[in-house]
Structure 1
Amino acid sequence: MVATVGTLLIWLGVTQLSTALWGPEMSLPKHVTNAVGTFALAVPLVLAMCRYLDRRAISSLGLTGGKQAFRDVLYGALTWLIPAAIGMTAGLSFGWLEVRIESSVAEIVGAVLLLVVLVFTYEAFSEELIFRGYIYRNLTTVATPWIAVVVQALLFSTFGTALWVINNGWGVLFERSILFFGMAIVAGCVRLIAGSIWASIGFHLAFQVIMQLFLGSHYANIHVSNESIFILTTAVVAFCAATTIAGMLWREAPNWTKPDSALAETRPRRTTS
């Protein structure tokens, strides 16, 4: 709970600062300010809590390195992109949805690359490190992994919904609480199945980049005929199918039912002078 409250305070402080600097409407300078501010404050906080408060190695958060990290990010992104692409294709084929792209190929590529950097910095890495990294990993020491997935999802939903309600009013309460809880459950399951936080980072990254590319108006000139149908055929379909795709990509049987007693062994030893 302390980590959740601390995270909320960081996000609120940074977003209030960016609003004071750039105004209430989202813009590139505001997005950059949010991304840099939250990353610079949240990531060191989590790493410090892990290393000095819990006295555990940073690797206990599921932060592998090298080729495995790259593979897990890619696979995590595919758990969202594959079902979302299938759902969107069905929506377009049956005439439920129309998408008009008025930007050039170069502009689309540039927008995607920019969004990958901003989303990774502002949302995917920082939020995953906190909720599917630090909080989830601590929960698995005292609870079964599936319970840890549910609890971290409740905390993430509380964090995300509170942030939206404070900034946008109570009208978004139901919609955002359901969205954040569902997304966090799926991301937590992907993280559990993969055994790596990079997998949920990839899932989160793909989800947010596509949503902001198609439904935002700041980075590319793309028009969607019906936003609700677009969300249904992409995000909702992906949320429903992501864990199945994850099970096909990571073949080792995941541990759903046993607390991770081995995590205590990752505590670094104290040295004496």
Structure 2
Amino acid sequence: MKGMKWLLLLLAGWSTLVGGLFLATLTGNVAEQWFGLARNSRLWVQAVVMSGLVVPIMLYLYQHVYRMTGLKPKTPEYSWKKLTHFITGVLLALALVSFGFIIARTQGWIVIEEWHAPDQWLAALFVNIVIAFLYEAFPEELGLRGMLYDVLRHRFSTWLSLILQTLLFVAVTTAVALLQALVGLTPGVSIAVPYILFILCFGLCLQLLRLWTRNLWTTIGFHLAYLEITRFVIVPHQYGAPPIITYHESEPGLAWLISAGMIIVGGVIVSLIILGAKRFMRRREVMRSDSLS
């Protein structure tokens, strides 16, 4: 039984994420129907339920992970003391999407028609940042790129753990959608091949970010920035959000394809380059120390 502790922790963490997401959406829908809550109020309920359930359980499970591995860092990767790395993730996502828009504009694929004044969208953006942080970015990254990955890394190689964690990410989304359909709720996402491929790539990108920064706050910042860029720049009409910019695209969906592609593919490429450079530098250090000994 002791040798199976890693599997029990893996199942506990995965079930917590699935249960948290499902109960959060269920509670939000019930509150909306019973009390006639507006959309934002329902989202607040979902965010509070999600973080209120998932975060304490994940932090508790993390203590068992440390005991299992025998390694407890003085400053865990999720510690508030490492919060400055949050900016790294946000700036990287913003830089990548900006680069994508610059390319699209120079090629005439996208024409920016108007930049809207901050008083039209700033308050809504701030509220959505807090909700998205509590409902999606923080609990998901703590659980998936944090606790679940660390359990897998205890048993498997880095790259196999990365792949397995990404598959678990897809499994969480699929399981929640199935549970929602089972109880008569409209699934939050459409489980189709394009969407599965998208979250596979997104999960891979986020885990690679954690690998080279060795910090969960980077992935939280990157995840949150992607959500807000999508909701306030790319497809604000789908979320009822006030747009930061209004633009015309030569083909429908082109802006989303360019922005998502640049953020995810660009994030993967940047991460692989940095990881490769760090590995090369470590090998040089080893070779130098061997030659001196």
Say whether the fold is shared (TM-score over 0.5). Answer: yes
Partner residue in 1 for 2:193: 174
Q: Which residue of 1 aligns with 2:41?
A: 29
Q: Which residue of 69, 83, 94 corresponds with 1:69?
A: 83
Q: Quick check: 1:216 aligned with 2:230?
A: no
- How much does 1:101 deviate? 5.1
**For 1:197-221, what per-residue CA distance to the aligned partner results, in whole angstroms no more than 9, with x for missing partners?**
1111111011111112232343314
Q: Equivalents in 1 of 2:160, 2:89: separation in Å?
A: 21
Answer yes or no: is the 8 Å Cα contact 1:164–1:176 preserved in 2: no
**1:152 aligned to 2:171?**
no
**Structure 2 match to 1:229:** 254
How many aligned positions are there? Answer: 253
Alignment correspondent of 1:123: 136
SS at match of 2:227: helix
Using the alignment, how far apart are the partners of 1:114 and 1:58 within structure 2?
33
Q: How well do the aligned residues superpose, as a CA RMSD in angstroms?
A: 3.0
In 2, the alpha carbon distance for the partners of 1:162 and 1:26 equals 27
Give 3-state SS (helix, strand or coil) of 1:55's partner.
helix
> Is this contact kept in 2: 1:50–1:58, CA < 8 A?
no
**TM-aligned CA distance change 1:75 to 1:97, over 3 Å:** same
Structure with the larger RCO, 1 or 2 (CA within 8 Å, 6+ apart): 1
Pick the aligned partner of 2:55 from 21, 35, 43. 43
**Structure (1 or 2) with the larger CA radius of gyration:** 2
Q: Contact 1:192 / 1:254 at 8 angstroms: preserved in 2?
A: no
Equivalences for residues 248-267 of structure 1 within 5 A: 253=278
Q: 1:25 and 1:86, CA in 2 relative to 1: closer, same or farther beyond 3 A?
A: farther
Distance 1:59 1:122 in 2: 28
Residues 1:2 and 2:15 are matched in the alignment: no
Which whole-Å deviations, capped at 9, do the CAs of 1:21-56 have from their partners, x for residues lacking one? 225998211211111110011000101112257637
Q: Report Cα offsets for 1:63-104 as digits up to 9, x if no partner.
A: 2443x421x111112222211111122223323234555853
- The answer to whether the 8 A contact 1:73-1:200 is kept is yes
Q: TM-score, normalised on structure 2?
A: 0.75
Aligned-residue offset at 1:176:
2.3
Gaps of 5+ in 1: 256-273
For residue 284 of structure 2, what is the aligned residue in structure 1? Answer: none
8 A contact 2:208–2:272 mirrored in 1: no
1:94 aligns with 2:119: no
**Aligned twin of 2:4:** none
Structure 1 residues 164 and 59, CA gap change in structure 2 (3 angstroms):
farther
Q: Equivalents in 1 of 2:255, 2:215: separation in Å?
A: 29
SS in 1 for 2:156: coil
Cα 1:60/1:142, change in 2 over 3 Å: farther
